[in-house]
Amino acid sequence: MIKRTPFSFCLLSMGFALLASGCQSPAEAPAWTAYPELISGRWEMVTAYRNDRETQTLNGTFFNFSDQQSFMTNLPVPVGTGPDGGHFVAKYSFVKDTIQLSGHLPMQFVVEHLDSQAMIMTTTINQQHFRFDLSRH
């Protein structure tokens, strides 16, 4: 019969702990760290929801994000008419999963999903909740 000592028990416990930690996958970076690279380009509206109900009034809406953190959309928000053809133009930045627009009409869009071909964003405009399902153009 094998006599167990506290020392051998400690070694055995440490071995199991090291084995268990070696089997875990490395910590994955949050998905939002890839957003700045993935968002660049033109995105077309596939489906829009206003207060959780599908709406057709935003058909044809697009969002354009440039590499220089410039944003443009034809989303019907209060904009002045000018050289941009009435489109809403602003600078944008990311704070984790949130796109923050700066300028005369600051806005925020929360990115619910983003990959190379699809994006889902949500926002609140005039106390109404919107969800935009977008496709890369």
Query: What CATH number corresponds to the domain at position 53?
Result: 2.40.128.280
Contact between 2 and 28 under an 8 Å Cβ cutoff? The reply is: no
Average the pLDDT over 90-97 and give the result: 92
Q: How many domains are there within the chain?
A: 1
In a domain, 53, yes or no: yes
Q: Are strands 88-95 and 98-102 parallel, antiparallel or unpaired?
A: antiparallel
CA 7 to chain centre: 51
> What is residue 46's predicted lDDT score, i.e. its pLDDT?
97
- Taking the C-alpha atoms of residue 101 and residue 69, their distance in angstroms, rounded to an integer, is 10
Residue 66, H or E segment: none
In a domain, 2, yes or no: no
The sign one gets for the Cα dihedral 59, 116, 131, 123 is negative
Task: Domain of residue 123: give its range.
Answer: 31-136
- Taking the C-alpha atoms of residue 48 and residue 54, their distance in angstroms, rounded to an integer, is 6
Query: pLDDT band at 105, cuts 50/70/90?
Result: confident
3 or 42, greater pLDDT:
42
Runs of H (alpha helix) within the chain: 6-23, 35-39
Average the pLDDT over 102-108 and give the result: 85
- Taking the C-alpha atoms of residue 41 and residue 137, their distance in angstroms, rounded to an integer, is 8
In a domain, 128, yes or no: yes
Q: Residue 7: pLDDT above 80?
A: no
What are the φ/ψ torsions at residue 100 (nearest 5 degrees)?
A: -110, 125
Percentage of residues in the chain having pLDDT higher than 90: 52
Range with the poorest average pLDDT among 10-14, 91-95, 117-121, 130-134: 10-14
In a domain, 106, yes or no: yes
In a domain, 130, yes or no: yes
Q: Residue 39: pLDDT above 70?
A: yes
22 or 106, greater pLDDT:
106
In a domain, 56, yes or no: yes
What are the φ/ψ torsions at residue 87 (nearest 5 degrees)?
A: -75, 150
In a domain, 125, yes or no: yes
In a domain, 100, yes or no: yes
